[in-house]
A and B are shown apart, each in its own frame.
Chain A
Amino acid sequence: MNRPSLWEALRGVVRRDLLLAMRRRSDVVMSVFFLVIVASLFPLGVGPEPAVLRTIGAGVLWVAALLACLLSLGRVFTADYLDGVLEQMVLIAQPLPVLVVGKVFAHWIVSGLPVVLLSPLLGLQFGLDGEALGVLVLSLLLGTPTLSMIGAIGAALVLGVRGSGLLVALLVLPLYVPVLIFGAGAVTSSMAGIGGEANLSLLGACLVLSLFFSPWATAAALRIALE
């Protein structure tokens, strides 16, 4: 039997994880609903003044997206860790970081992409207009993959640790702060008329950096967890 190429291995991991996610659709729906509910709580708590909602809208949506991503982090590795698939992934002749990229990409499609697609609708609820909505979608498109990449490190570190759900939040949220600042900053600065390009470039830089470093750190953390 021929050894599959890197690309085939990557595709295989993505396909498998997406298939598993499709078999358990309620998981996906849950994190999307969580996002919608959190975003809808703020107007009820803060009050329905359109001016206030417009100012806090970008920040609230970004925080909600961040929390939705955080809640779904447990799904990246836990099931595979429990049934032993992860051990096989560490053992096979493909580099572990590549497989990690595949798993994180699948996680993003399942939990990040719905957030990006839903965000214009939620933005309308907060009274964001045309250009700001576009920047919001773009910022989430650049930012949510970064959140998944960084989150994977935390998810790998807490595998099989007691109280891991809460612990992963404590580990990962501080690292999410720059993405949150640049993401929400892009929308607010475009609303202020300065244009969101600078913040979007910084988000892109964060994405590239995390794409480069996070798979190695995640692979190291997985090896430690499986020792």
Chain B
Amino acid sequence: MNWSKYSAPLAFYPLAGKMIPWFSAVAALAIAVGLYIGLLVAPTDFQQGDSYRIIFVHVPAAWMSMFLYVVMAIWAGVGMGLNARLSFMMAQAIAPTGAMFTFLALLTGAMWGKPTWGAWWVWDARLTSELILLFQYAGVMLLRTSIDDLRRADRASGVLALVGVVNIPIIYFSVKWWNTLHQGASVSMTAAPKMATIMLTAMLLMTFGFWMYSIAVILSRVRCVILERESQPAWGNPSAAPEVAEAR
């Protein structure tokens, strides 16, 4: 089977439409089970009480915020390298979801910080670098919307996204490099996790759920982007794409 045919927006549009319900269902299931285990099954922490439970949203959101930025930059890079329209559309569709997760990570962090650290916000290395990530998402989106020529908007915001990737390792390693208030990683690929298995299960389930949610949302947004951009005669005969014609 020739997968590259799906790099054409015309072919990708119906495929995305078919995938969205599956990813949405898996996301809803994983988030529901993850929240159930995290909020009801997992034991109360002996130091932090119940306030620690916000990590089941906080940590997955923070992971997704960094991951989505890298994915966005990769799509932009692929778009510039291969001159593919769909890649830029994917990059455009990812940015708002990434910004949402960055904001969610900052918000839940503040809600956890107030009872635990006694402050909504501290100027700690990780908090600051995550805030900068939010600004970078905003910059990429703003640059795209302020350039009228689509081709230039795609490429310019792609360059900016690629330049901003330098911040991702800084965020990830900030707790190691600067010994500040935000605690180090409790979960890593190389060492045994420093948390109870049940908590880890809930957190990984939530991460999986957020991941699937992101795919579902990004696919539906990319469908909108395709409709918006390709509604001009570029596709030629609309009857060749019955589903698109319907959606219009």
Residues on A lying within 8 angstroms of B by beta carbon are 153, 157-158, 161-163, 167, 170-171, 173-175, 177-178, 213, 217, 220-221, 224-225, 227
Contact between B142 and A217, CB atoms less than 8 A apart: no
Grouping DSSP codes into helix (H, G, I), strand (E, B) and loop, the B interface class, with mixed when no group exceeds half, is: helix
Q: A175-B164, A224-B155 are in contact. Are A170 and B142 (CB under 8 A)?
A: yes
Residue B139, interface by CB 8 Å: yes
A163, A174, A175, A213: most-surrounded residue (chain B CB, <10 A): A174
Interface size on B, residues (CB 8 A): 21
Given A167, A170, A220, A227, which contacts B159 in the complex, CB threshold below 8 Å?
Answer: A220
Chain A residues in 8 Å Cβ range of B32: none
Measured CB to CB, the nearest residue on chain A to B140 is A171
Measured CB to CB, the nearest residue on chain A to B129 is A177
Contact between B152 and A227, CB atoms less than 8 A apart: yes
Contact between A170 and B138, CB atoms less than 8 A apart: yes
Chain B residues in 8 Å Cβ range of A173: 135
Residue B156, interface by CB 8 Å: yes
Chain A residues in 8 Å Cβ range of B170: 178
A198 to chain B, nearest CB (A): 11
Contact between A167 and B142, CB atoms less than 8 A apart: yes
Given A171, A178, A225, A227, which contacts B160 in the complex, CB threshold below 8 Å?
Answer: A171
Residue B151, interface by CB 8 Å: yes
Given A153, A177, A224, which contacts B132 in the complex, CB threshold below 8 Å?
Answer: A177
Query: Which positions 165-193 of chain B face chain A at CB distance < 8 Å?
Result: 167, 170
Contact between A174 and B139, CB atoms less than 8 A apart: yes
Measured CB to CB, the nearest residue on chain B to A174 is B135
Contact between A221 and B143, CB atoms less than 8 A apart: no
Contact between B135 and A217, CB atoms less than 8 A apart: no
B214 to chain A, nearest CB (A): 23
Contact between B152 and A225, CB atoms less than 8 A apart: yes
Contact between A217 and B159, CB atoms less than 8 A apart: yes
In the bound complex, CA of A90 to CA of B227 (Å):
35
In the bound complex, CA of A174 to CA of B151 (Å):
25
Q: List 11 A-B contacts (CB under 8 A).
A: A153-B159, A157-B156, A161-B147, A170-B142, A171-B142, A171-B160, A173-B135, A224-B155, A224-B159, A227-B152, A227-B155
Contact between B143 and A158, CB atoms less than 8 A apart: yes
B179 to chain A, nearest CB (A): 13
Residue B33, interface by CB 8 Å: no
In the bound complex, CA of A221 to CA of B80 (Å):
12
Chain A residues in 8 Å Cβ range of B142: 167, 170-171
Chain B residues in 8 Å Cβ range of A217: 159, 162-163
Contact between B160 and A157, CB atoms less than 8 A apart: yes
Contact between B136 and A174, CB atoms less than 8 A apart: yes
Chain B residues in 8 Å Cβ range of A167: 142-143, 146
Chain A residues in 8 Å Cβ range of B139: 170-171, 174
Residue B201, interface by CB 8 Å: no
Flag B114-136 by CB within 8 Å of A: 1 or 0 each. Answer: 00000000000000100010011
Chain B residues in 8 Å Cβ range of A213: 163
Measured CB to CB, the nearest residue on chain A to B125 is A181
B230 to chain A, nearest CB (A): 21
Q: A224-B156, A227-B152 are in contact. Are A162 and B146 (CB under 8 A)?
A: yes
B157 to chain A, nearest CB (A): 8
Q: A170-B138, A177-B132 are in contact. List 16 more A-B contacts (CB 8 A).
A: A153-B163, A158-B143, A158-B146, A161-B143, A161-B146, A161-B147, A171-B143, A171-B160, A174-B136, A174-B139, A174-B164, A217-B159, A217-B163, A221-B156, A225-B156, A227-B151
Chain A residues in 8 Å Cβ range of B136: 174
Measured CB to CB, the nearest residue on chain B to A218 is B159
A225 to chain B, nearest CB (A): 7
The 7 closest A-B pairs by CB, nearest first: A174-B135, A224-B155, A171-B139, A174-B132, A157-B156, A221-B159, A170-B139
